[in-house]
Amino acid sequence: MTTRVMAKWRPTLGMIIFAVLMTVLTLPLVSLFFFRLYENELIRQTEAELIAQSAVLAAIFAQEVESTPDPISLLGAAVLSPAPSGDNGFDRSLQPSLDLAGEDLLGPRPEAAPAAVPPAPPLIAIGQRLQVVALQTQSVTLAGFRLLDSHGVVIAGREEHGLSLAHVKEVEQALQGRYKAVLRTRISDEPPPPLYSLSRGTRIRVFSAMPVIVRDRVAGVIYASRTPNNIVKHIYGEQRKFILAGFTIFGATLVIGFIFSRTITRPIHALVARAVEMGRGRREALEPLAHHGTREIALLSQSFIDMTERLHERSDYIRTFAAHVSHELKTPLTSIQGAAELLRDDAAAAPGSMTGPERLRFLDNIIADTTRLAAMLHRLRELARADNPEIRGNTLLSTSVADLKSAFANLDIRVEGSLDSSVAISAENLSIVLSHLADNSIRHRARALTVSGRSAGHDVIMTLCDDGEGISPANRDRIFDAFFTTRRESGGTGMGLGIVQAMLRAHGGLIRLLASDKGAVFEIRLPKA
């Protein structure tokens, strides 16, 4: 009964290769969504730079306030929770904390409002002196700076002088003595790049408000802002290079696909088609593929061809074997049937029409033919067993030869050479081989049989030489054919040497007939145990 693979859906090799290639092709595009992690680092780097720049300006601002005749009158609210500060009052442990993924994105910065209280003249003078520093810093760092007094009024910067930013969230926190940084929507007069929607960083600006602390009170605020470096803008600026890279990746994908198709898909499809042809019995399909692609497919193809050739040989063997068996069985069965019909006709006729010796001759023919059939069936069972033996066990040659001497006492069996080696065949199977060869020698009128052994690498070679009638040159090429015998009249079945050859071949060994002047000489080769 043939077992068939369950008919469920399975992807083809081409589909799998196509999926892998599409995955490889889209990986550069998918990776664009992971650059937000890099953008977050850019934002924190921008905040760190604003902290460093603001800290310098805050230190200068604080020194300017301290150098005025009445610094106390210029100070604002006391710091709510004073942090460990340095000599100039700014926080040394301040670290960037903005997070693009979790930080709330505020709207654009509110417009400046009219100041409720104008800045004090000393602060206006300080702002004028620091104006040059702020503008020069801004031209180099591309950051925007506003210097505010203790009430949030702009005293230095590029614009908005005299206006108040005290109502802005981050400035409000700084006026209470706490550093505050936020992310706000960026207002730009430039058109966004086509990849704008992929990046949150293309539309934000970092705002930081650092309080200027003098004597644990707020003297002013350094309000800074800057747009972080943007990877999307960089990609857009290098769009030609990225397009070239895209075409390169696409071309490489096509080349990989062609290589996969050439080396894997096409040879496998050709092998499947060849298997279908072999299944239909077309022996012309037993040719190697024109293109194997890979070593593994070449090995698979060769293994498949070897297996198919063995199956065809087995099929031919069974067909020939069946023809020989039917021919060999037909002759004794016909003889038995003829003798039985004559005896039946004699019994139905007048008594005494067949003499006693004639009746005995017919009965002897029946008994001889049944004996021949029984012998043939016994040899057929031995041949089937030799074709499919149990491949196990090891045997010492000297032991098997000693058992052979006991079984064939009427044959003078002599030993030469070394028989101390162990061979990879069971004692029972080796006994079948040697017994058939000894029986074949006796039936060809041999009186002595010489058994010799020697080692040859990983094998053991045994030579069996008898002094019988030998084998004629005309029959030497046919002695291992099934049912070939020169002793058919004496009960020979022609299967003994076929059984020997099948048994040895099943154990990785072989037998051959050697040339000799007298008798028959057989050489057996078996692997060592």
The domain boundary, picked from 387, 402, 428, lies at 387
In a domain, 45, yes or no: yes
Q: 159 and 172 share a domain?
A: yes
The residue that leads in pLDDT, 172 or 338, is 172
Distance of alpha carbon 110 from alpha carbon 128, whole angstroms: 25
Helix axes 121-141, 35-66, angle to 10 degrees: 150
Q: 464 and 506 share a domain?
A: yes
Confidence of residue 220 (pLDDT cuts 50, 70, 90): very high
Distance of alpha carbon 529 from alpha carbon 519, whole angstroms: 31
In a domain, 383, yes or no: yes
Of 44-53, 284-293, 373-382, 385-394, which has the strongest mean pLDDT?
A: 44-53
pLDDT at 194 over 60: no
**pLDDT in the model for residue 263:** 77
In a domain, 250, yes or no: no
Q: 360 and 410 share a domain?
A: no
Confidence of residue 409 (pLDDT cuts 50, 70, 90): confident
The domain boundary, picked from 387, 409, 444, lies at 387
pLDDT at 206 over 90: yes
Helix axes 266-279, 295-348, angle to 10 degrees: 10
> 207 and 182 in contact (C-beta within 8 Å)?
yes
Q: By mean pLDDT, which of 328-342, 381-395, 413-427 is the weakest?
A: 381-395
Q: By mean pLDDT, which of 247-261, 420-434, 491-505 is the weakest?
A: 491-505
**pLDDT in the model for residue 487:** 55
- Burial of residue 80 (CB within 10 Å: 0-12, 13-18, 19+) is exposed
Distance of alpha carbon 451 from alpha carbon 298, whole angstroms: 45
pLDDT tens, residue by residue, 376-400: 776 666 666 666 566 667 888 888 8
Q: 201 and 81 share a domain?
A: yes
Distance of alpha carbon 297 from alpha carbon 267, whole angstroms: 7
CATH number of the domain that 434 lies in? 3.30.565.10
Q: 421 and 370 share a domain?
A: no
The 8 Å CB, 24+ separation contacts for 24-31 are 24/253, 24/256, 25/249, 25/250, 25/253, 28/245, 28/246, 28/249
Tell me what the mean pLDDT of segment 7-11 comes to: 63
In a domain, 9, yes or no: no
Q: 117 and 212 share a domain?
A: yes
- Burial of residue 236 (CB within 10 Å: 0-12, 13-18, 19+) is middle
In a domain, 230, yes or no: yes
pLDDT at 512 over 60: yes
> 41 and 206 in contact (C-beta within 8 Å)?
no
109: amino acid identity, one letter: R
pLDDT at 6 over 60: no
pLDDT at 39 over 70: yes
Q: 199 and 147 share a domain?
A: yes
pLDDT at 83 over 90: no
The residue that leads in pLDDT, 338 or 490, is 338
Of 61-75, 79-93, 198-212, 341-355, which has the strongest mean pLDDT?
A: 61-75
The widest CA-to-CA distance across the chain, in whole angstroms, is 168
98: amino acid identity, one letter: L
Tell me what the mean pLDDT of segment 304-331 comes to: 69
Q: By mean pLDDT, which of 7-11, 198-202, 257-261 is the weakest?
A: 198-202
Structural domains of the chain, count: 3
pLDDT at 174 over 90: yes
Q: 319 and 408 share a domain?
A: no
Which residues, 6+ apart, have CB-to-CB distance to 136 below 8 Å?
Answer: none
Distance of alpha carbon 181 from alpha carbon 94, whole angstroms: 11
In a domain, 168, yes or no: yes
pLDDT tens, residue by residue, 117-149: 899 999 999 999 999 888 888 888 889 999 999
> 155 and 115 in contact (C-beta within 8 Å)?
no
CATH number of the domain that 339 lies in? 1.10.287.130
Of 193-207, 295-309, 501-515, which has the strongest mean pLDDT?
A: 501-515
Which 3 state secondary structure label does DSSP give 93? coil
Q: 324 and 406 share a domain?
A: no
Helix axes 427-443, 496-506, angle to 10 degrees: 150
476-495 residues labelled b (16+ CB within 10 A) or e (exposed): eeebebbbbbbeeeeebbbb
**pLDDT in the model for residue 162:** 92
In a domain, 413, yes or no: yes
Q: 108 and 206 share a domain?
A: yes
First and final C-alpha spacing in the chain: 37
**CA-closest candidate to residue 123, choices 84, 162, 174, 175:** 162
Q: 377 and 396 share a domain?
A: no
Angle, CA 425 vertex, CA 422 and CA 430 arms, to 5° = 95
**pLDDT in the model for residue 85:** 45
**CA-closest candidate to residue 436, choices 500, 482, 522, 390:** 500
- Domain residues for the domain of 229 are 28-237
**CA-closest candidate to residue 490, choices 451, 444, 431:** 444
Q: 370 and 407 share a domain?
A: no
> 130 and 147 in contact (C-beta within 8 Å)?
yes
Tell me what the mean pLDDT of segment 31-59 comes to: 82
CATH number of the domain that 58 lies in? 3.30.450.20
Tell me what the mean pLDDT of segment 437-457 comes to: 87
Which 3 state secondary structure label does DSSP give 451? strand
- The rounded percent of the chain whose pLDDT value lies above 70 is 75
Of 26-35, 378-387, 410-419, which has the strongest mean pLDDT?
A: 410-419
pLDDT at 195 over 50: no
Of 3-7, 363-367, 463-467, which has the strongest mean pLDDT?
A: 463-467
Angle, CA 508 vertex, CA 504 and CA 510 arms, to 5° = 50
Report the half-sphere exposure of 181 (CA within 13 A, side-chain side).
25
H helix or E strand, kind and range, residue 526: strand 521-527
